[in-house]
Chain A
Amino acid sequence: MEPSILAQQAVNGLILGATYGLIAIGYTMVYGIIGMINFAHGEIYMVSAYLTAIFLAVLHFFGITSIPVVLIVVLVATLCITALHGWFVERIAYRPLRDSNRLAPLITAIGLSLILQNYVRLSQGARSQGVPTLLTGSFVIPAGSGVIQITHVQALIIVVAIASMAVLTFIMHRTSLGRACRATEQDRVMASLLGINTDYIISVVFVIGAAMAAIAGVLVSLNYGSFDFHIGFITGIKAFTAAVLGGIGSLPGAMLGGLILGLSESFFSGFVNTDYKDVFAFALLVLVLIFRPSGLLGQPLVTKV
Chain B
Amino acid sequence: MNKMVQFGGVLISMLRLLSPPPAVAEEGIPIGVAGPFTGAYAAFGEQLWRGAEQAANDINAAGGINGKKIELFKGDDACEPKQALAVANQLVDRHGVRAVIGHFCSSSTIPASEVYAEAGILHITPASTNPMVTERGITTLFRTCGRDDQQGSTGANFIVNTLKANAIAVIHDKDTYGQGLADAMRTQLQRLGKKEVLYEGLTRGEKDFNALVTKFKSVNAEAVYFGGLHNEAGPLVRQMKEQGLKAPLVSGDGIVSEEFVIAAGGPAYAEGVYMTFGRDPRKIKEGQEVVDRLRKSGFEPEGYTLYSYATMQIVAAAIAATRGTDGAALAKWLHTHDVPTVMGSKGWDEKGDLKTSDYVMYRWNNKGSYEEVP
Provide the residues of chain A in CB contact with B157, threshold 8 Å.
none
Q: Of A30-38, A185-193, A262-270, A296-304, which binds chain B?
A: A262-270
- A65 interfacial contact with B, CB 8 Å: no
Tell me the bound Cα distance from A227 to B244 in angstroms: 23
- A234 interfacial contact with B, CB 8 Å: yes
Partner of B262, one of A2, A127, A230, A273: A127
Q: Which residues in chain A, 191-236, are within 8 Å of chain B measured between CB atoms?
A: 220, 224-228, 230-231, 233-234
Q: Of B27-35, B136-144, B208-216, which binds chain A?
A: B208-216
Q: How far is the CB of B67 from chain A (nearest CB, A)?
A: 38
Partner of A149, one of B42, B202, B203, B244: B244
Q: Of B53-61, B116-124, B234-242, B314-322, which binds chain A?
A: B234-242
Provide the residues of chain A in CB contact with B200, threshold 8 Å.
273-275
Tell me the bound Cα distance from A132 to B39 in angstroms: 23
Partner of B39, one of A126, A220, A265, A274: A126
Partner of B208, one of A127, A224, A225, A267: A224
Report the count of interface residues on A (CB-CB < 8 A). Answer: 44
* A8 and B243 form a contact (CB under 8 A): yes
Q: Decide: A132 near B218, CB < 8 A? Known: A126-B42, A224-B235, A278-B203.
A: no
Q: How far is the CB of A97 from chain B (nearest CB, A)?
A: 16
Q: How far is the CB of B217 from chain A (nearest CB, A)?
A: 6
Q: Which residues in chain B, 15-60, are within 8 Å of chain A measured between CB atoms?
A: 38-40, 42-43
Give A265's nearest chain B residue, CB to CB.
B211
Partner of A15, one of B39, B210, B217, B264: B210
Q: How far is the CB of B31 from chain A (nearest CB, A)?
A: 24
Partner of B265, one of A133, A230, A267, A277: A133
* B207 and A127 form a contact (CB under 8 A): no
Give A262's nearest chain B residue, CB to CB.
B208
* A8 and B39 form a contact (CB under 8 A): no
Q: Which residues in chain B, 190-236, are within 8 Å of chain A measured between CB atoms?
A: 200-203, 205-208, 210-212, 214-215, 217-218, 231, 234-235
Give B258's nearest chain A residue, CB to CB.
A127
* A225 and B211 form a contact (CB under 8 A): no
Report the count of interface residues on B (CB-CB < 8 A). Answer: 38
Q: How far is the CB of B282 from chain A (nearest CB, A)?
A: 21
Interface of chain B, helix or strand or loop or mixed? Answer: helix
Partner of A130, one of B203, B206, B266: B266
Provide the residues of chain A in CB contact with B266, threshold 8 Å.
130, 132-133, 225
Q: Which residues in chain B, 234-289, are within 8 Å of chain A measured between CB atoms?
A: 234-235, 238, 242-244, 259, 261-266, 268-269
* B263 and A269 form a contact (CB under 8 A): no
Provide the residues of chain B in CB contact with A132, threshold 8 Å.
266
Q: How far is the CB of B237 from chain A (nearest CB, A)?
A: 11
Provide the residues of chain B in CB contact with A220, threshold 8 Å.
207
Tell me the bound Cα distance from A140 to B244 in angstroms: 10
Provide the residues of chain B in CB contact with A274, threshold 8 Å.
171, 200-202, 211-212, 215
Tell me the bound Cα distance from A220 to B235 in angstroms: 12
Give B201's nearest chain A residue, CB to CB.
A275
- A16 interfacial contact with B, CB 8 Å: yes
- B69 interfacial contact with A, CB 8 Å: no
Provide the residues of chain A in CB contact with B242, threshold 8 Å.
138, 149, 151
* B207 and A126 form a contact (CB under 8 A): no
- A12 interfacial contact with B, CB 8 Å: yes
* B234 and A226 form a contact (CB under 8 A): yes
* A226 and B262 form a contact (CB under 8 A): yes
Q: Decide: A226 near B40, CB < 8 A? Known: A130-B266, A138-B242, A278-B203.
A: no
Q: Decide: A224 near B40, CB < 8 A? Known: A269-B211, A270-B214.
A: no
- B174 interfacial contact with A, CB 8 Å: yes
Q: Which residues in chain A, 236-292, are within 8 Å of chain B measured between CB atoms?
A: 265-267, 269-271, 273-275, 277-278
* A266 and B211 form a contact (CB under 8 A): yes
